[in-house]
Structure formats: C-alpha cells, structure tokens
Amino acid sequence: MSAALTADLESLAERLRASTVAVRLGRGGAGSGVIWSSDGAIVTNAHVASRPWAEVVLADGRRCEARVERRDAGRDLALLRVAASGLPAASVRDPAELRVGEVVVALGHPFGVPNALSMGIVHAPLGTGERRFVQADLRLAPGNSGGPLADAAGRVVGINSMVAGGLALAVPADDVQRFLGALPEPERLGVLLAAARLRDGGDALVIVAIEPGGRAEAAGLRIGDVLRTRDAARLRFASALEVLRGGATVTVPIPAQRGAGRAA
C-alpha cells in the first residue's frame, strides 16, 4: 500500500473516530453509535439501545450517561441523548448518490476492539423490497452495530445494522433523517392490497383497489397487478416496482411527487 493511500486512510479513520462512540449496557460493550448533532444527539441501532439508559464513551475518553429518547425497532434505529454540547457531528451524504463498486468504510468497536476500520465496496446502494438497506461487501462483527458506514470522504451514508449473506447491511442515512424528523415521510402509494401466494411458494401482494389521484394511479399501476413483497409499508420508498401482470414481469416507475394516498 502506498504511503499516500495509507495517509488518506489514516485521515479518514481519524475523522470518523471523532464522531463515533461506544455504546455500553452493563459490563459489556453493546455496540457503536454516531454523533448526529453537536447538541448531544447520538444515533445507534434499536437492538443496541435495548434499555432506557446506556453509557456512551466519546472518542476523547469521556463517559456520559445517555437516555434513550426514541426507538424504532422496524427501522432498527434509536436516538440517544447525552448532556453535552459542542460535539463533533458526523457529515452525512444522501445514500441515493452511491454507485455500485464505490469504496466505503465502517468504523466501530468489534469484539471490544476500539475504533476498528474495515474497508470494502458498495454491493447495492438501496433496496426497495421488504427492508431498505445500503449493502456493502465489507466485514462487520459484533460491536460494529450502530456505527457509521461512510464513503471515501468520511460522509456517513448509513448506520451499520447486521450481516446477511456475507454482506454488511446499513440503515440508509435518509431513513435516519426521517426517523429524526429532519426529512418528511414519503406519501403512501395509494393502493389497497391483499396477501397472495405465488405458484413458486413465494409471498406477494395483489392490488385490489387504487385510490384516485394517488401515486399508484399516476404510475399506471392496475388492479390485479401482483407485487413480489410482503411489506406494504416499504412500497412508498420505491422509485420503481417489479409487478407481475398478465403472466409477464413489468417494471413500473413510481413518481416521487407527494400524493393524497392513505392506504399502502
């Protein structure tokens, strides 16, 4: 590895360390967290912050009692609050800008090892199925949960959540912003759905009604279209849907503009 690349990685790790904390419950190290704003707001996973209180260890060694202010188990996110100000908040990037093959890094405290950095590439920027994750081909271990997934400039694109199929899965930064109220939730699709089982045994949802004037109608979705998913709540995040229509698979772009839908 060249000296220049080594220096760049060291600088990147140092920037991330400043805004990454250890989150501890009881005697053991539970995971990691990211300083989201300088006024003491820290984001981690809901499965890390499983109790009303936690201990947070800052990069400078300070230990702070943190109150769990909010949890969303569905998104696997939790907001911790510490009585501190002037903290080094992370820089954030819209994960929709990521491209497959882009270099990303994760920082955390795996197996109790402080500030460990791992590097890999983006495998898939964002999913639109049952769970919406940034997928990266890099190594995560117990203790990385709740820590940052960041691009080569040190901008956080997600909160590391789990490993599946050998890939690191991170909750996208825009989902974090919605969880915190900094971004509005997207409007619902505007369809009424019924559960179905496909011939191959897979679960699906069938459109049985479409709300007039909603996003689904604007997209050209039809009654009888079959969606290969079980999670209706996540459909509103999709920029396009793969639907089964008349025995064929059709890709339907979904408009981003706000609509008046109230169903899924």
CATH of the domain at 176: 2.40.10.10
> What is the total residue count of the chain?
264
Which tokens is 108 given? 């955390």
Domain extent, residue 42, equals 3-82
The catalytic residue positions are 47, 76, 145
Give the separation between CA 214 and CA 219, rounded to whole angstroms. Answer: 9
Q: How many domains does the chain have?
A: 3
Contacts of 195 (CB under 8 A, 6+ apart): 203, 204, 205, 206, 230
Last residue of a domain, one of 180, 203, 222: 180
Dihedral-angle region of residue 59 (phi above 0 means left; psi in -120 to 50 means alpha; beta otherwise) = alpha
Please tell me the predicted confidence (pLDDT) of residue 29.
Answer: 57
128 phi and psi angles, rounded to 5 deg: -125, 15
Please tell me the predicted confidence (pLDDT) of residue 131.
Answer: 62
Please tell me the predicted confidence (pLDDT) of residue 176.
Answer: 96
This prediction's pTM: 0.77
Dihedral (CA of 131, 133, 138, 144) sign: negative
Could you say which DSSP state residue 87 is in? -
Residue 211 and residue 195 in contact, taking contact as beta carbons nearer than 8 Å: no
Q: How many CB atoms lie within 10 A of CB 25?
A: 15
Please tell me the predicted confidence (pLDDT) of residue 31.
Answer: 93
Please tell me the predicted confidence (pLDDT) of residue 111.
Answer: 85
Provide the residue-wise pLDDT of the chain in tens; the chain has 264 residues. Answer: 566 666 778 888 899 999 999 999 876 558 999 999 999 999 999 999 989 999 999 999 999 999 999 999 988 999 999 999 999 999 999 998 999 999 999 999 888 788 899 999 999 877 554 467 999 999 999 899 999 999 999 999 999 999 988 899 999 999 999 999 988 877 888 999 999 888 888 888 999 999 998 899 999 999 999 998 777 766 877 778 889 998 889 989 888 754 333 334
The reply to whether 176 and 195 lie within a common domain is no
Domain assignment present for residue 74? The answer is: yes
The reply to whether 103 and 167 lie within a common domain is yes
Structure-derived torsion over alpha carbons of residues 34, 37, 38, 44, reported in degrees to the nearest 10? -30
Which residues in 146-245 belong to E strands, given as ranges? 148-151, 156-164, 167-172, 191-197, 203-210, 226-227, 240-245
Please tell me the predicted confidence (pLDDT) of residue 27.
Answer: 67
Domain assignment present for residue 87? The answer is: no
Which tokens is 127 given? 């999913």
Amino acid at 21: V
Domain assignment present for residue 89? The answer is: no
> 3-class DSSP state for residue 78?
strand
Q: How many CB atoms lie within 10 A of CB 144?
A: 28
DSSP per-residue string spanning 181-201: TSSPPPPP--EEEEEEE-TTS
Residue 234 and residue 129 in contact, taking contact as beta carbons nearer than 8 Å: yes
Domain assignment present for residue 259? The answer is: no
Please tell me the predicted confidence (pLDDT) of residue 21.
Answer: 96
Nearest Cα to Cα of residue 57 among 192, 147, 153: 147
The reply to whether 45 and 17 lie within a common domain is yes
Q: C-alpha angle with apex 103: 74 to 123, nearest 5 degrees?
A: 50
Domain assignment present for residue 260? The answer is: no
Please tell me the predicted confidence (pLDDT) of residue 4.
Answer: 66
Last residue of a domain, one of 141, 161, 180: 180
